[in-house]
Amino acid sequence: MRSVLVTGANRGIGLALVRQLAARGDHVIATCRQGSEALTATGARVESPIDVGDAAALAALAKRLDGTRIDQLWLNAGVLERDALGKIDAQGFDGVRRQIEVNALGPLRVAQALLDRLGCGSKIAIITSRMGSIGDNDSGGYYGYRASKAAVNAIGKSLAVDLAPHGVTVLLLHPGYVATDMVGGHGDISPATAAERMIAVVDRSGIEQSGSFLHSNGSALPW
């Protein structure tokens, strides 16, 4: 049985990932800051409260998982705050820092805390965004979100290089424009569709694709 851990699992894309991974028979460990009835209903092992910015909580989680190999590590937890040039006050800059803390440093903290749980053949899927693409940015704005996703792309690429000798694959995945609470329910696809597509990408990808920045439809995205 494959063992899978998903962060930010209580709603949206994270919840959809947990539902589908559990439904196909994987042993799913779902982490989140606050649980939900919907998450409990999946039958996954729920670890809460887990904040990806809390190093002590992650260290404690690693201890509880002692002896558990993680075959797929889905780093999904994230936040989005809107900021516009000329209107970024002190509170706005706090929001920029918060997005970098959660969206960029969070995945690195989790990956490092659970490093000993990974082995040859394990896969790390970082849920990023094409909004972190510098080459694709033709609309500006969203300074904190764009910066945090560009940073996690760089972090993911370094993880791919560092973990290649250990046979661990690292993928950077843009789920698409997904209708979640984060974007006010707007979007082109549902969380379930995004999850299904990304699971398929991860399942078929190997060490040769490690470090790739991919759309959930499988196409490569510009850095």
Is 145 designated active site? yes
- The CA-CA-CA angle for residues 123, 51, 42, to 5°, reads 65
73 neighbors 61 (Cβ within 8 angstroms): no
Give the integer Cα–Cα distance in Å for 52 and 60. 12
Which of 142, 143, 145, 177 is labelled catalytic? 145
What is the per-residue DSSP string for the chain? --EEEESSTTSHHHHHHHHHHHHTT-EEEEE-SS--HHHHTTT-EEE-S--TT-HHHHHHHHHHTTT---SEEEE---------TT---HHHHHHHHHHIIIIIIHHHHHHHHTGGG--TT-EEEEE--GGG-STT--S---HHHHHHHHHHHHHHHHHHHHHGGGT-EEEEEE--SB-SGGGTT--SB-HHHHHHHHHHHHHH--GGGTT-EEETTS-B---
Query: Would you name the residues annotated as active-site residues?
Result: 145
